[in-house]
Amino acid sequence: MGLPHGDVHLIQIVDAAVADAARRSGPMLLCGPGCTQCCIGVFPISQLDAARLRTGLTALDATEPERAAAVRQRAQQSVARLIPEFPGDPQTGILNETSPDLEDFAMDDFANDEPCPALDPATGLCDLYSARPMTCRVFGPPLRVQDSSGDAGLGVCELCFHGATEEEIAACEVHLDTEDLESTLNNEAEQATNQSGNTIVAWALIS
């Protein structure tokens, strides 16, 4: 059960858009190796993201098996910690989109201090950086997002763009037009894995 072929094209588009936004952001964007704030706390990922992570972990097995084993161990430990309050099916790791508990998840009340299993605590680097989920890829530069009421606005990393005006922030926005492609590829990933719905990184890496 590999990754949909079109994912390579999707990643190229997204990475190019983020790189362009980072260039426009200049010194206002402080993201860099060793900055791990966005690696703490769980968040939903698609089955396409999960498939990409597993493909990346398999590739790491071939080149650096000890690092891959450490990632799996951290994922297993994370799952063990999160199972008691997991807002979904603890066997599959699928989030229950209709569960009242998911509101807590969305409000960052669930596992807010849980480090990502892909994060190497010794180096502060991501061991699966090239295979990271879409949320990780676009985090940092201004990105248009919707809040719980459906209103759209620009979200930015709270460590960046200090002192910038709204106009300066808007000038650095990430411009993406990949929703249809990503949705199509995610449907392919769900069909290939027979898993439908979002999960989180830890469960993806123990599957």
Please tell me the pTM assigned to this model. 0.91
Helices (H) and strands (E) in the chain, counts: 8, 4
107 pLDDT above the threshold of 50: no
114-126 mean pLDDT? 97
- Rounded distance, CA 79 to CA 74, Å? 9
178-201 mean pLDDT? 96
* Position with higher pLDDT, 85 vs 146: 85
DSSP class of residue 116 equals: P
Cα 44 from chain centroid (whole Å): 7
* Position with higher pLDDT, 155 vs 196: 196
- Rounded distance, CA 70 to CA 81, Å? 17
8 A C-beta contact, residue 56 and residue 131 = yes
What is the DSSP annotation of 29-98? Answer: ----TT--GGGBS---B-HHHHHHHHHHHHHHHHH-HHHHHHHHHHHHHHHHHHGGG-SB-TTT--B-TT
* Position with higher pLDDT, 193 vs 145: 193
pLDDT at position 150 is 56
Q: What is the pLDDT of residues 5-56, one digit of tens each?
A: 999 999 999 999 999 999 999 999 999 898 999 999 999 999 999 999 999 9
Joined together, the tokens standing for residue 200 give 């989180």
Please report, rounded to a whole number, the percentage of residues in the chain having pLDDT higher than 90. 81
Which residues, listed in sequence order, are joined to residue 112 by a DSSP beta bridge? none
* Per-residue confidence band for 204, with pLDDT thresholds at 50, 70 and 90: very high
147 pLDDT above the threshold of 70: no
